[in-house]
Amino acid sequence: PSSTRYAEASMYNSFGLKFLYKWFNLPFLQLQRETLLGQLETNTRETDVTAYELDVYEQTDESNYDLFLEKLSAQRRSKAEQNSNIPTFGLPSPSPSGAYVPPSLPGAPGVRSAPRVTFQGDTPSSQGPGVAPVPFRPILESVGRGKPIVPGKSPMPSAS
């Protein structure tokens, strides 16, 4: 609705300046109104579509809690059955010498022992033949400071 407006204004003493500011603001207010109405229409359409999608979802099997529980319990049962089929070995029988003999699988080659790691403090008699000592240096890094923590020294800065 465009209407013709008449106003007196003077550049000499700024008479009518307030009227001009409001008059120049009209196109921007009309544009803002059109934009907001368009956003309201979009919002209305999206609300209707979402309500329809919720109605359709309620009719599917995904929204049925009883079916969900049945599927969940079936999955748990199948996992339990799979885990129950794992063979277990009983306690090993004691050897005649009284030493522990680890169980072995039928047809498996002899049991390998884990490699032995020794430290410099070990005595040669406890190391066994052909075992080289590994140097041991207990130095830890303090969190966030990047300074080494040396055993026997305080990591806290001294108050001076």
Q: What pLDDT is attached to residue 13?
A: 94
Radius of gyration of the chain (CA): 42
**Cβ pair 9, 20 in contact under 8 A:** yes
Average per-residue pLDDT for the chain? 76
In the three-class reduction of DSSP (H, G, I as helix; E, B as strand; rest coil), residue 84 is classed as: helix
Q: What pLDDT is attached to residue 123?
A: 56
pTM summary value: 0.40
Query: 143: exposed, middle or buried (C-beta count within 10 Å: 0-12, 13-18, 19+)?
Result: exposed
Backbone phi, psi, residue 148, to 5°: -70, 145
Whole-angstrom distance, CA of residue 112 vs CA of residue 109: 9
Q: What is the DSSP letter of 63?
A: G
**Cβ pair 28, 22 in contact under 8 A:** no
Q: What residues in the chain have per-residue pLDDT under 70?
A: 1, 86-160
